[in-house]
Amino acid sequence: MKDNSDMKDKYALVTGAAKGIGKSSALHLAKMGINVAINYRSSEKEAEVLCKEIEALGVKSLIVKADVGDLNEVKNMAKAVLKDFPRIDILVNNAGIIDDTLIVRMKDENWKPVIDTNLNGTFYCTREFIRGMMTNRWGRIINIGSIVGSRGNPGQTNYSASKAGVIGFTKSLAKELAPRNITANVIEPGYIDTDTVAVLGEEFKEVIRSRIPMGELGKPDDLGPLVAFIASDNARYMTGQVICVDGGLAV
* 62: β partners: 37
Q: Are strands 182-189 and 242-245 parallel, antiparallel or unpaired?
A: parallel
Instruction: Please give the order of strands across the beta sheet that includes 139-144.
Output: 61-65, 35-40, 11-14, 90-93, 139-144, 182-189, 242-245
Q: How many residues are there in the chain?
A: 251
Q: What's the mean pLDDT when you consider all of the chain? A: 95
Alpha helix segments (H runs only) across 85-231 = 108-115, 121-136, 148-151, 157-177, 195-198, 202-211, 224-231
Catalytic residue list contains 159: yes
**Which entry of 11, 40, 124, 159 is annotated as an active-site residue?**
159
Give the span between the Cα atoms of 208 and 152, in whole angstroms. 15
Give the span between the Cα atoms of 182 and 130, in whole angstroms. 9
b (16+ CB within 10 A) / e for 239-250: bbebbbbbbebe
* Backbone conformation region of residue 152, classed left if phi is above 0, alpha if psi is from -120 to 50, else beta: left
pLDDT in 10s for each residue of the chain, 251 residues: 676 767 889 999 999 999 999 999 999 999 999 999 999 999 999 999 999 999 999 999 999 999 999 999 999 999 999 999 999 999 999 999 999 999 999 999 999 999 999 999 999 999 999 999 999 999 999 999 999 999 998 999 999 999 999 999 999 999 999 999 999 999 999 999 887 777 677 887 888 899 999 999 999 999 999 999 999 999 999 999 999 999 999 88
| All domains in the chain, ordered by first residue | 5-190+224-245 (3.40.50.720)
| pLDDT tens by residue, 194-236 | 877 776 778 878 888 999 999 999 999 999 999 999 999 999 9
